[in-house]
Chains A and B, each alone.
Chain A
Amino acid sequence: MTDRSAAPARRAPRRSNLYFVWRGVLGDPVARIAAGIIAIMVLAAAFAPWIAPWPPNAANPELRLMPPGTPGHLLGLDNQGRDILSRLIYGARLTLVCGIVPVLIGAAISIPLGLLGAWYPLLGGVIMRLMDVLFAFPMALLAIMLAALMGPGVANMMIALVVTLIPYNTRVVYAAACLERDQAYVEAARAMATPDLKILFIEMLPNVVAASVVYSCTIIGAVVITAAGLSFLGLGVQPPTAEWGIMTSEGRSYIFNAPHIAAIPGISITILVMAFNLLGDSLRDSLDPRTRLRLVRTAKDRT
């Protein structure tokens, strides 16, 4: 639209939220480590067939229940004689997918719901009352009920998780959209007779999305745990597929003679969830006006 070179050169750059996210997260060493851990796990999952020493379901019954350090099997073998390290690497795939995909789909549904709800008060009232009802169920319980009734399986588990996540994310978007609704730029757009939907999804969306993204990042850890928990209950991923929740569940029967079978996938879940929680905290801080300046300043001091 305008010639960029004509803009005054000395004008302070307009700091978008993205800038603060970038500087804040990269400037925070803890967040960098967390992002690194997640990146390693994602890469391991993506290249599993090349990294894993054995196929995930290749069993060697003679070595079953052998502890970590068995030659050729770094992390030992499980009750069927399958290599735990290989199953861990392959299992990262479903563990990550089941943690992240429902959050993405949930956000994709919640953002329009929250925006429309904030714009049309009547619709908003209906939507938020519906959400109140869903809030009456503890998160894990709602997911367990839905998954149990729809029948076991990865797809059904993800649907259950999405439904469980929608009320939380919608409330976040709704609150953010209600604040944006009263801003001058929205009024200006209205004065220019911009169609409602255009105001909502072109003008307001970018300002509302940040809140939803941050919320989504802080919730991924909890979703990973819930998804693994559903698989642990036998409602999600089905054996013999490798996934960390179901690996913990399979190891439960052998804790007294081979505790490593349940311990190793559990530790992996904890590390992954911790990394997501740290990254989410850092993201939230870098978007919070009260803390973000401090983060950016310390980042500058260091460089």
Chain B
Amino acid sequence: MNLVLFALGRLASAIPVLIGVTIVVFLSVQLVPGDIALSILGRMATQDQLEALRESMGLDQPLVVQYLRWFGALLQGDIGMSLAQQLPVAQILLPKIGNSLILMAGSLFLVLVFGFLLAVLSAPRFRSVTDRLVVALTLVLASLPVFWLGIVLLYFLAFKWKLFPISGMYNVINPGGFRDLIHHLILPATVTAASSIAVVARVTRSRMIDVLNEPYILAARARGLTRRQIVLRHGVRNTLPTFASIGGLQIGYLFGGVVFTEIIFNWPGVGLQLYDAILARDIPMIQGCVLVVATVFVLGNLVSDVVVHALDPRND
């Protein structure tokens, strides 16, 4: 019950943020240099076409009216028309969102599993060789540019050793269900996850080191618990809230990486769509992609906040 109330409260506070997001995305069009209608239609446009577009976009209205019109349409699922493809942005984006979420889920899975394993491996052995190796590994992982790691893994694992497919989501000639998807997913998900694994491992590790220095750990040792029991029962339990919150924060960072991995591995998601939209200067499409990602990010953080709240032993 308590948890439901907390979740509702967080949801209520997320709504103004989401409205703020729509305002930022709406206003961002003002950054386009020069005449918006001209930059959308290109130099070849006639005066009549320009006028028609200005009118249909409501560019002759005050900004507030423009925003309210745009927001009203947005609530009905209308983000505008893609300039490059002449189709509604929402219609193009909808299937891509699912594809991106699959990639995100795969990377988040890797981030949580490996981030946690590295922390549990290193924290109880503070300053040992294992600990130092883990710290060094996280340092390297955190410093790798995702676009470069993608190229390197693509070259070695997919091109040279042929362990994984080079690009796409399914085998084009012979698409084969879930196993085929996982096979295609492993490389891009690993690349996306790399730097977030490092962040999660480092934060969780330092929290666990603090936890293991608490008096109740000493008390547990005095009661004769083995180190394994102490780490798994007390250490892990009290580290979980920190782990969940830093893990949840990664959702946004993962998306920053997803843009690059989708381009490199030709994964048909929102990131690749965003890249195509940038190249085509398809402004409504850019707005749509950003809006989708920011919304997923805000909702993801909301879920992680609720999970953190549920995991905190003090709220039992």
CB contact between B256 and one of A134, A141, A252 (< 8 Å): that residue = A141
Interface residues of B in 256-300 (CB under 8 A from A): 256-257, 259-260, 263-264, 274-275, 277-279, 283, 286, 290, 293-294, 297-298
Contacting pair A274 B143 (CB below 8 A) = yes
Q: A145-B28, A263-B152 are in contact. Are A221 and B294 (CB under 8 A)?
A: no
Instruction: Give the CA-CA distance A234 to B144 in the complex, in Å.
Output: 19
Contacting pair A269 B278 (CB below 8 A) = no
In order of increasing CB-CB distance, the 3 nearest A-B pairs are A140-B256, A266-B148, A133-B20
Which of B29-37, B52-60, B222-230 lies on the face that meets chain A? B29-37
Measured CB to CB, the closest approach of chain A to B147, in angstroms, equals 5
Contacting pair A141 B151 (CB below 8 A) = no
The secondary structure that dominates the B interface is helix
Contacting pair B145 A273 (CB below 8 A) = yes
Contacting pair A139 B28 (CB below 8 A) = no
9 extra interchain contacts, Cβ-Cβ under 8 A, other than A141-B256, A141-B290, A145-B286?
Answer: A129-B20, A130-B20, A137-B290, A138-B253, A138-B293, A141-B294, A149-B31, A266-B151, A269-B148
Measured CB to CB, the closest approach of chain A to B107, in angstroms, equals 13
Which of A48-56, A83-91, A209-217, A224-232 lies on the face that meets chain B? A224-232
Contacting pair B297 A235 (CB below 8 A) = no
Interface residues of A in 28-87 (CB under 8 A from B): none
Taking the complex as formed, is B133 at the interface, i.e. its CB lies under 8 A from any CB of chain A?
no
Taking the complex as formed, is B139 at the interface, i.e. its CB lies under 8 A from any CB of chain A?
yes
Instruction: Give the CA-CA distance A167 to B102 in the complex, in Å.
Output: 30
Residues of B within 8 A of A248 (CB): 145, 147-148, 151
Taking the complex as formed, is A179 at the interface, i.e. its CB lies under 8 A from any CB of chain B?
no
**Interface size of A as a range:** 35 or more
Instruction: Give the CA-CA distance A110 to B264 in the complex, in Å.
Output: 35
Instruction: Give the CA-CA distance A84 to B79 in the complex, in Å.
Output: 44
Taking the complex as formed, is B255 at the interface, i.e. its CB lies under 8 A from any CB of chain A?
yes
Query: Number of contacts between A and B (CB, 8 Å)?
Result: 137
Residues of A within 8 A of B216 (CB): none
Contacting pair A221 B143 (CB below 8 A) = yes
Taking the complex as formed, is B203 at the interface, i.e. its CB lies under 8 A from any CB of chain A?
no
Contacting pair A132 B20 (CB below 8 A) = yes
Instruction: Give the CA-CA distance A225 to B260 in the complex, in Å.
Output: 12
Instruction: List 9 A-B residue pairs with CB atoms under 8 Å apart, sorted by A's residue number.
Output: A129-B20, A134-B24, A136-B17, A140-B253, A145-B290, A149-B283, A150-B33, A233-B278, A274-B143
Contacting pair A139 B253 (CB below 8 A) = yes
Taking the complex as formed, is B21 at the interface, i.e. its CB lies under 8 A from any CB of chain A?
yes
Taking the complex as formed, is A239 at the interface, i.e. its CB lies under 8 A from any CB of chain B?
no
Q: A228-B145, A262-B151 are in contact. Are A138 and B256 (CB under 8 A)?
A: yes
Contacting pair A229 B146 (CB below 8 A) = yes
Instruction: Give the CA-CA distance A259 to B240 in the complex, in Å.
Output: 42
Instruction: Give the CA-CA distance A233 to B275 in the complex, in Å.
Output: 7
Q: A233-B278, A255-B159 are in contact. Are A140 and B259 (CB under 8 A)?
A: yes
| Binary per-residue interface labels of chain A (245-259) against chain B in the complex, 1 for a CB within 8 Å, 0 otherwise | 100110110011001
Measured CB to CB, the closest approach of chain B to A158, in angstroms, equals 14
* Smallest Cβ-Cβ distance to A265: which chain B residue: B148
Instruction: Give the CA-CA distance A127 to B268 in the complex, in Å.
Output: 38
Taking the complex as formed, is B124 at the interface, i.e. its CB lies under 8 A from any CB of chain A?
no
Contacting pair A141 B278 (CB below 8 A) = no
Taking the complex as formed, is A148 at the interface, i.e. its CB lies under 8 A from any CB of chain B?
yes
Instruction: Give the CA-CA distance A146 to B286 in the complex, in Å.
Output: 10
Residue ranges of B at the interface with A (Cβ–Cβ < 8 Å) = 16-18, 20-21, 23-25, 28-29, 31-33, 139-140, 142-148, 151-152, 154-155, 159, 252-253, 255-257, 259-260, 263-264, 274-275, 277-279, 283, 286, 290, 293-294, 297-298
Q: A137-B290, A138-B255, A141-B259 are in contact. Are A252 and B145 (CB under 8 A)?
A: no
CB contact between A136 and one of B29, B139, B297 (< 8 Å): that residue = B297
Taking the complex as formed, is A295 at the interface, i.e. its CB lies under 8 A from any CB of chain B?
no
Instruction: Give the CA-CA distance A129 to B15 in the complex, in Å.
Output: 13
Contacting pair B259 A132 (CB below 8 A) = no
Contacting pair B139 A278 (CB below 8 A) = yes
Instruction: Give the CA-CA distance A233 to B286 in the complex, in Å.
Output: 14
Q: A141-B255, A149-B28, A229-B147 are in contact. Are A133 and B17 (CB under 8 A)?
A: yes
Residues of A within 8 A of B151 (CB): 248, 251-252, 255, 262-263, 266
Contacting pair B256 A136 (CB below 8 A) = no
Contacting pair A270 B148 (CB below 8 A) = yes
* Smallest Cβ-Cβ distance to A142: which chain B residue: B290
Instruction: Give the CA-CA distance A259 to B257 in the complex, in Å.
Output: 22
Taking the complex as formed, is A151 at the interface, i.e. its CB lies under 8 A from any CB of chain B?
yes
Residues of B within 8 A of A233 (CB): 259-260, 263, 275, 278
Taking the complex as formed, is A286 at the interface, i.e. its CB lies under 8 A from any CB of chain B?
no
Instruction: Give the CA-CA distance A245 to B151 in the complex, in Å.
Output: 13
Residues of B within 8 A of A169 (CB): none
* Smallest Cβ-Cβ distance to A255: which chain B residue: B155
Residues of B within 8 A of A145 (CB): 25, 28, 286, 290
**Residue among A138, A146, A263, A269 with max Cβ neighbours from chain B (10 Å):** A138
Taking the complex as formed, is A144 at the interface, i.e. its CB lies under 8 A from any CB of chain B?
yes
Taking the complex as formed, is A277 at the interface, i.e. its CB lies under 8 A from any CB of chain B?
yes
Contacting pair B147 A132 (CB below 8 A) = no
Residues of A within 8 A of B277 (CB): 148
Instruction: Give the CA-CA distance A229 to B258 in the complex, in Å.
Output: 12
Contacting pair A148 B143 (CB below 8 A) = no
Measured CB to CB, the closest approach of chain B to A57, in angstroms, equals 23
Measured CB to CB, the closest approach of chain A to B282, in angstroms, equals 10
Instruction: Give the CA-CA distance A84 to B18 in the complex, in Å.
Output: 46
Residues of A within 8 A of B252 (CB): 137-139, 141
* Smallest Cβ-Cβ distance to A274: which chain B residue: B143
CB contact between B154 and one of A132, A232, A255, A273 (< 8 Å): that residue = A255
